[in-house]
Structure 1
């Protein structure tokens, strides 16, 4: 996996412990990019430290109280997150940082470490398969994915740049649509934890179909 100027190919390339950034409803996937606006003092400190070392932080969702997301060994966090490398960094002049994270690989969270830092640090086990070259979407039903995306846009009176969509690789398309989808934390976690790109695409299609059916029920029967 090439992220920015750094290659991550084997387990030794991934640190055993990382700072973690709990962020509800956010989804970072390997090979994709996530822009973030950072303003809390503890996370500004986290970024200062990351920029002076390996530029790596972990994005992970808080576990939901009702248990619809699987909890990890750290009870208030989900079990799986995604490691990101800071690939762009800017200061705003008013105390904020604007960054972009490039997804490296998913990880399973381990124990939280006691450190004298304002932010949290956890031991992790990386998903090493994410570092390998994948199938790049050869088994994904691209037509079904695009049909689902088109139906969602039409139902919500939205438009898309279809020329850009058609040019996108299937891998990029699946991950971009997953990250930009307007669904909740539990759905985002399901997309993150999908075993491969094909299952992620099928999960996204299923979630979209459920959302469309629910919206249709809320508006009552449609006369033909």
Structure 2
């Protein structure tokens, strides 16, 4: 089975469709970038998973390397695009360059009827507008929402990365069994955040 480079990162959870800028400074991951750039553009894929004090999570997300700029000191600024989630299994250390690798094991998100997903996504987006009141410029927020793709999958990604929650909460969103479950959990987290904010103001 094919292996992919594994990049455990703190505070980083990958969702489909979103751009992820990264600064690469560790030698092993600089080598990873060089190795990816040596491959064809359609082969420049690796996996990001959330790193915690207890290790890294067994579910991560595919990312495709879109652009890389090497700095004079040998570090890199790269831009990746998030893809679907995957299992992080069979982890080992790459023999030559020390960065970790994982088996390529997709874990597709369960999808429901499009009409059902659209309704739940609409409800979640309405909740998000209320949740962000006072924290985001309304016109900028509406512009961002208007530019989202029609697929509820990418609308859910937008919500997941913009919620003011912990990385572990975002990981729970990633690990939700279905897209509808992900959107419903996002609404639950928004309600909890709104209640916490109201309690703090009281």
The TM-score with structure 1 as length reference comes to 0.75
- 2:21 and 2:80 in contact (8 A); partners too: yes
Shift in CA distance, 164/138, structure 1 to aligned 2, threshold 3 Å: farther
Deviations 1:118-176 (A, max 9, x none): 3111224212x36x99866752423321222122222x432242133134223322112
Equivalent-residue separation in structure 2 for 1:104 and 1:137 (angstroms): 23
Alignment equivalent of 2:182, drawn from 183, 200, 214: 200
Q: Which residue of 1 aligns with 2:102?
A: 122
Please give the root-mean-square deviation of Cα atoms over the aligned residues, in Å: 2.5
Shift of 1:94: 4.4
Q: Which moves more between the two structures, 202-211 or 56-65?
A: 56-65
Equivalent-residue separation in structure 1 for 2:103 and 2:128 (angstroms): 37
Gaps of at least 5 residues in structure 1 are 1-14, 66-75
Deviations 1:95-132 (A, max 9, x none): 332222223331111122243323111224212x36x9
Gaps of at least 5 residues in structure 2 are none
The TM-score with structure 2 as length reference comes to 0.82
Query: By percentage of residues, which structure has more helix?
Result: 2
Equivalent-residue separation in structure 1 for 2:7 and 2:75 (angstroms): 16
- 2:16 and 2:153 in contact (8 A); partners too: no
Q: Which residue of 1 aligns with 2:128?
A: 149
Shift in CA distance, 119/31, structure 1 to aligned 2, threshold 3 Å: same
Q: Which residue of 2 aligns with 1:57?
A: 46
Alignment equivalent of 2:195, drawn from 213, 217, 222: 213
- 1:56 and 1:86 in contact (8 A); partners too: yes
Equivalent-residue separation in structure 2 for 1:112 and 1:184 (angstroms): 26
Equivalent-residue separation in structure 1 for 2:146 and 2:56 (angstroms): 37
Shift of 1:190: 0.8
